[in-house]
Structure 1
Amino acid sequence: MKTKRAVFFLLMILGFAMQAQQSVEKEVDSLAIKNSSQLKFNKKQLIIPAVFITYGIVGLESDFLKGINAEVKEEVNENIDHKLTIDDFSQYAPAVSVYALGALGIKGKNNLRDKTIILTTSYLIMGLTVESLKKITHVERPDGSSFNSFPSGHTATAFMGAELLYQEYKDVSPWYGISGYVVAAGTGAFRMYNNRHWLTDVVAGAGIGILSTKAAYWLYPSVNKLLSSKKHQNRKSAFLPYYDGKQFGFGLVSSF
């Protein structure tokens, strides 16, 4: 099937990202404190997400990349029998897996509170970035339904969760992280299969998702310090999930 070419392209990107990321993480981990909630900042960690995001942004004006988008769309559409809405659920699978593994007694890098703070921070960064870019770029979707195609929010959400899964469980088994990235790549592929996004949307979404989670780990000490401030010892905070029928997210509730 011609659609295999698009899936192969995504898997190739995924493989490159995992290989490069693992080499960077080995270097960074040698400087990190075991079981620390903080991900040690290293500018090399920016390479993979920066390449993905740059590819997507360049694709907004590049005739060559637009041609690739059109070719992928044409090939995918030739083989579409009916839409599969699995991507509406698979986008959350990697993040949910982090909590599922914890519930099964498989300990990750952080406890429930810390990883929830990190997840919430990454979700806020990702959500604000995606929604801002959608409004600024005003790119029409492949199916012509709206002008908010760039970048792919579903893909960004999936890769955000995949990076969280990788960071939390890479020391337990690298297969947890690999499985998360496979699901994330599949989510991106289904967004194209369902004619909802261009290839550039998906690649940029992947970069935003990965970078959002990395940024959340880097920001964790500051966020945790803010939530644990001695000036607010009577403050009680909770992160509550919500679902409005279309989108899933987290909200912060504080009492004094």
Structure 2
Amino acid sequence: MNKLIQPRRAALAAILLLAGSPACASPHGWGKASGIVRDVLVGAALGVPAVQGDWQGDLQAAGSLVATGGTTYALKELIHERRPDGSDRKSFPSGHASIAFAAAGTLENRYGWQAGLPAFVLASFVGVARVEARRHHWYDAVAGAALGTGTAFAITRQRDSDVRLVPWADGGGGGLSLAARF
């Protein structure tokens, strides 16, 4: 079975889950959808390597998720940013976004852009949904995205790939650039 089939199935499953989710018109709907998509990404980050027998990839994915989660927790305890809905002072950074981007970064860094592109699209949805749910400010989601992606790229090693999506950021913005090896 082609190694790219599994990431495509994971992306298709995520899209089908989103299509079957309730409308996201209310903050509660956005919050629920962001949790579902985050969980799908974590499942893909851990499941794709397992299905392929890539136990090193599974360990790297788990390490990335644990390191991201721990760092996110520590930052929430150190930085007392009030959430937009006023519920508490643990807004910065977004844990949902950091974990979603750690999962996406792990998939991209380990398996290439074919797995990474749909995963980053879904992770971006999680960040937007957390803002729409009024659980985070936009900068909480951006910081979570940077933290998760950075941790994933620091811990996960590529399996093999000639084409890569590389995240970048500077004072004026950020994005993804396409890198190809010939």
TM-score, length basis structure 2: 0.66
Given candidates 72, 80, 88, the residue that maps to 2:35 is 88
| SS of aligned partner of 1:92 | helix
- Give, in whole Å, the separation in 1 of the partners of 2:46 and 2:66: 19
Partner residue of 1:160 out of 95, 102, 107: 102
Secondary structure at the aligned position of 2:61 is classed as helix
Which of 101, 104, 112 in structure 1 is aligned with 2:54?
112
- Root mean square deviation of aligned Cα: 2.1
Partners in 2 of 1:175 and 1:101 — Cα distance? 13
Q: CA deviation at 1:142?
A: 0.3
CA distance in 1, matches of 2:72, 2:154: 15
Alpha-carbon distance in 2 for matches of 1:82, 1:207 = 24
- The gaps in structure 2 that reach 5 residues or longer are 1-23, 158-182
User: Partners of 1:144 and 1:217 in 2: how far apart?
Assistant: 36
Alpha-carbon spacing, 1:100–1:121, altered in 2? closer, same or farther (3 Å): closer
**Aligned: 1:186 with 2:133:** no
- Is 2:80–2:91's contact at 8 Å kept on the other side of the alignment? yes
Secondary structure of the 1:144 match is coil
Cα distance change, pair 155–177 in 1 and its aligned pair in 2 (3 A)? same
Contact 2:50 2:58 in 1 (8 A): no
- Structure 1 residues 147 and 99, CA, compared in 2 at 3 Å: closer, same or farther? closer
- Tell me which of 55, 58, 66 is aligned to 1:124: 66
The answer to whether the 8 A contact 1:95-1:165 is kept is no
Structure 1 position 198 matched with structure 2 position 144? no
Deviation, 1:128, is: 1.7
How far apart, in 2, do the equivalents of 1:169 and 1:217 lie? 10
1:133-178 deviation digits (Å, cap 9, x = unpaired): 11111110000001000000000000000011112221xxx23211
Task: Pick closer, same or farther for the CA change 1:169–1:192 going to 2, 3 Å.
Answer: same
Aligned to 2:91: 149
Structure 2: how far apart are the matches of 1:100 and 1:120? 11
- Take 2:114 and 2:36, find their aligned partners in 1: how far apart are those partners? 21
Q: Separation in 2 of the partners of 1:82 and 1:130? A: 23
Tell me: CA distance 1:82–1:161, structure 2 relative to 1, closer, same or farther (3 Å).
closer
Residue ranges of structure 1 left out of the alignment (5+ in a row): 1-78, 219-256
> Cα gap change, 1:202/1:209 in structure 2, threshold over 3 Å: closer, same or farther?
same
Deviation at 1:127, TM superposition (A): 1.4
Normalising by structure 1, what TM-score? 0.48
Q: Residues 116, 197 of structure 1: CA spacing in aligned structure 2 closer, same or farther, 3 A cutoff?
A: same
- The separation in 2 between residues aligned to 1:147 and 1:99, in whole angstroms, is 31
Per the alignment, do residues 193 and 117 of structure 1 end up closer, same or farther by CA in structure 2, a change over 3 Å counting? same
Give the Cα separation in 2 of the matches to 1:100 and 1:122: 14
State the SS of the aligned residue for 2:156: helix
Q: Distance in 1 between matches of 2:39 and 2:26?
A: 25
Give the residue type in structure 1 aligned to 2:125.
Answer: G
State the distance in 2 between where 1:103 and 1:116 align: 6
Q: 1:123 to 1:81 in 2, by over 3 A?
A: closer
